[in-house]
């Protein structure tokens, strides 16, 4: 799992059926690389989150049939910019 920060919401009305109605967020890693994740938790922009990748992302999305390769697993209680870059 990786530590990421939520940047913003992402809305895609026209999407593949297998993505269902899952909400999407844009997250960045400590280098500023952007990624799109499925968010089953309800994270807000600025929250530091754990992102789950590979096939575990599909299970984490609540249903192994969801086509995602990155899913938020939880919101980190205490984290900040310095700990992120240390």
Partner 1 sequence: MKICQVEGTLVATARIPGLLNRRLLIVKERGSSGKQVAVDPVGCKPGDWVIAVGSSAARDAAGSKDYPSDLTIVGIIDYWDDPVGRAGAMAHAD
- Residues 49-73 as b or e (16 or more Cβ within 10 Å = b): bbbbbeeebbebbeeeebebebbbb
Nearer to partner 1, 14 or 25 (CB): 25
Which residues touch 33 (CB under 8 Å, ≥6 apart)?
none
Question: By CB under 8 A, what part of segment 19-78 binds partner 1?
Answer: 30, 40-42, 50, 52-57, 59-60, 62, 64, 71-78
Residue 45 beta carbon to partner 1: minimum distance, rounded to whole angstroms: 15
> What is the binding site for partner 1 (CB under 8 A)?
1-3, 30, 40-42, 50, 52-57, 59-60, 62, 64, 71-78, 84
């Amino acid at each position: 799992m990786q530590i990421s920060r939520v940047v913003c919401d992402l809305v895609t009305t026209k999407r593949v059926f297998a993505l269902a109605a899952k909400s999407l967020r844009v997250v960045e890693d400590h280098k500023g690389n952007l990624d799109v994740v499925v968010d089953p938790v309800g994270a807000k922009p600025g929250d530091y989150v754990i992102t789950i990748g590979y096939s575990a992302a599909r299970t984490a999305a609540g249903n192994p049939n969801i086509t995602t390769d990155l899913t938020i697993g939880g919101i980190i209680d205490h984290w900040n910019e310095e700990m992120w870059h240390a």
